Structure 1
Amino acid sequence: MSEELRDEVEAINSIYGDGCLVPSNDENIYILKPPSESASLRIEFPPTYPAVPPVVLGTNSTGEHGKRGDAARELSFFCEALSSVYEPGAVCLFDTIEELTRLLESSATEDTDPHDAVPEEEEEATDVVPRNRSAAEAHASNIPEPPWVLSDLFIELKSTFVARCAPVSSTEEAEAFVQHLLSTDKKVRTATHNITAWRIKGPNNTTFQDCDDDGETAAGGRLLHLMQLMDLWNVMVIVTRWYGGHKLGPRRFALINQTARDAFVKAGLVSENTNKKKASGKT
């Protein structure tokens, strides 16, 4: 097993849960159980991966709760997602799973039968905030998906980092984007830390900037300082960390900022002129 594949297996299982990507009895073949999907897939990783893409061998199991046709549908969407995100030399499963989730959600929306919708008067009568859920979370889950740009995965000592950035025009929008992510993405919501920062220019030369450590003391302030040094405005960033069981010491702050910077580069907010640390953990 290559170092890139070993790190990717650890990253996928740390983000989506143990058992999401596990080896089979055949060399180079893994069983992938995408989160929230009924089918599992057989994926072959050639010895030269990620220089060449993984090979989707087919469905491994349809799942006891799967409906007829679900496995073929999910397999088709996975192949579509893989072909759209793969780039030679870069590990791709995280991006493929994220794209698969988007495709399935989009398909579910398109397949909704309008006759199944709740009548207008009944919908109005039942439009209440569920118990144990704040009004802000309920509102955030109903706004459109924020235009996130994701960084590569960064891994060190089994801790996994990923950043999301998006343009924002007000503090209210930034807060809504945070709530939307936490209320709609369980793996992010249950991560060890979600560190945020934003800088916004308002009317009449007013400016707003804020940050949140989310339990990682001083991390938010360092993230905000990075944005100040890069002179970034009207943008926000969230760096998610899944703790891998080994303390990183001060190194964690460099990884948090490095991950955020990668998201800014991918969003076209800054030119990339230094080597990036890929999900393999190498520079």
Structure 2
Amino acid sequence: MTQESTDKGFAAAAGAVSIHVIRTDAEGLETGFATLPGGAPAYYARPEHGRNLPVVLLAEEIFGLHEHIRDVARRLAKLGLFVIAPDYLARYGDPMTAPDIDAIRAIVAKVPDVETMGVFDEALAFVEGKGGDVDHAAITGFCWGGRIAWLYAAHNPRLAACIPWYGRLDGARTKEQPRWPIDVASEIKVQTLGLYGGDDPSIPYDLILTMKDKLAEAGAPADIILYDQAPHGFFADYRPSYRERDAHDAWGRMVAFLRAQGVG
């Protein structure tokens, strides 16, 4: 009923791939890999014949630029968007071949946030050079990439929208990762929709409420939707954490939000 996650480009540490995994073809799309100026690889997907396409930056999970993230890029591209997913972890190790989650966390801990912000700046410049409309650009990200989405929205207030999916809001402050979304709540000027699970031990319910309060106090144009029974990774259709009903609802909310902000 399952297949090994290393088949077809899934991260080894993610475990066996669920029978519920969604597979999106590339028909009608231009897809490929590129190397950004600083050396980071990136996967992109866009409609074959589109011009001046709205842009979505896609921030990968801790499992790296594996098949789930590439599939999400294709799903978004089929909505008429130019999507680019830079692998901001790759220069510090390969999460796709790491043997377990602890090995992946050791890689992630080495990656400086300031460098990651620069990688996404390079990704925007890349898509602009290929005809993307960076004046109508958004960022979305999952898991660790959800954390990055919050931080990049603070870094780049020109974005039209930000959609973090269950990104950690607080954690240990290090030289490489000195700030967390809870620290930049007052700096969010980008229209933001957070999508979070209420049954996620890595992001406690009280912390989500605190984040909502900080956003409200700052007058930030941001809200967080909470799916009460959903665990961490509820959108990850290749894993046991997947919750189909919540994932479909959240995807629909994201697409509507993007369109409301002129992205799509």
Tell me if TM exceeds 0.5.
Answer: no
Structure number with bigger Rg: 1
